[in-house]
Amino acid sequence: MTSDASPSRRAVLGLAAAAVPAALLATGAAPASAATAVGGERLGLDGIQVSPGGAPRLPHLAAQSWLVADYENGEVLASYRAHHRLPPASTLKMLFADTVLPKFDKTLKHRVTAADLAGIPEGSSLVGVEAGTSYTVDQLWHGVFLRSGNDAVHVLSAMNGGVPATVREMAAKAVDLQALDTHVVSPDGYDHPGQVSSAYDLSLFARHGLRNADFRGYCGTRIAEFPARGGKKFQIQNTDRLLGVYKGMIGVKNGYTTHAGNTFTGAATRDGRTLLVTVMHPVNGYDQVYKDTSALLDWGFRAAGKVTPVGTLVAPVSEGGRPSAAATPAPGPNAARAGSGGSGGSSYSWPLFGAGGGAAALLAAGTVAMRNRRPRRTRKH
């Protein structure tokens, strides 16, 4: 166990910003061409992608981006702007879990220090971790998955060598998973300039994570007990509104911030088939992300076996996946738009960096845009 002090939010952002050329911040860049889109050419196209003939009618959806895929074989049944880069909110915690969860025995105990909790963004969702109290790794992961606790994320990051080290490892993991739309600035998914992902990448994170029994168990847990001061405990409940409500729901992660809006990746099993659905940034309120997800799952279970896939969720490079031929995007006008959240969409422009071990990867695979003002306080989960 370690108790390395996590750097301040400003320090973490400074690390990211220091690596970004000013020219890239001044101009947007077009998304990678359809011909080089990870998972297939159609996934790089704008507009709804679904094969004609035999498929039930798609529901009307309010999201800026979405994707429905078969969990087992990775076939993408339908999508809309699958590689559109948007702020991910707490769905980025799936990548955090993919990266850090396998590292620590869940029975390991850690006594939290004030340094472990340093730098948590103001307005974050918290599970209630307190300095001076001991927690098992298992309890901390319950705090991450059920309550999206940024305090639990920062403690686990401190145990992992600190926030900057964890961000670097997450970036490297994204590269291995071929999630080339993703740029990691913080491990918790909080609103930071340049922190983006896509419906495609979030689906990769979920698919990879669900292969881990602990990951699957945590995201499917509805209620757990969490330690409090003086040896007491309190109950925490999963904020996933479809868990226990939608038939066959097994997880995985929801997210919300003021600027990102609502984001959700869900997985459900029915009649021996498991589907993955990711919905990013519906325009109509908090419940819409769950309505869209339910509608896509319903459609997917009806359409499975009747439609020709429009793409595929690729395998990680470390597991034999063929590295993507995605090229560095050229400057252009099509920067991604941030989601609605009370502030309206704002433009970003930021490259993607990945580094890990002794290797560093510079992947200018996404451009999204940098806000012209400081983010407002956000309540995030």
Show which residues are catalytic: 90, 93, 148
Under a CB-based contact definition with an 8 Å cutoff, are residues 255 and 145 in contact?
no
Where does residue 2 rank: exposed (0-12), middle (13-18), buried (19+ CB within 10 A)?
A: exposed
Q: Which residues, listed in sequence order, are joined to residue 75 by a DSSP beta bridge?
A: 312
Task: Name which of 303, 298, 304 is nearest 242 in CA terms.
Answer: 298
Under a CB-based contact definition with an 8 Å cutoff, are residues 285 and 295 in contact?
no
| Alpha carbon distance 281, 297 (integer Å) | 17
Under a CB-based contact definition with an 8 Å cutoff, are residues 268 and 274 in contact?
yes
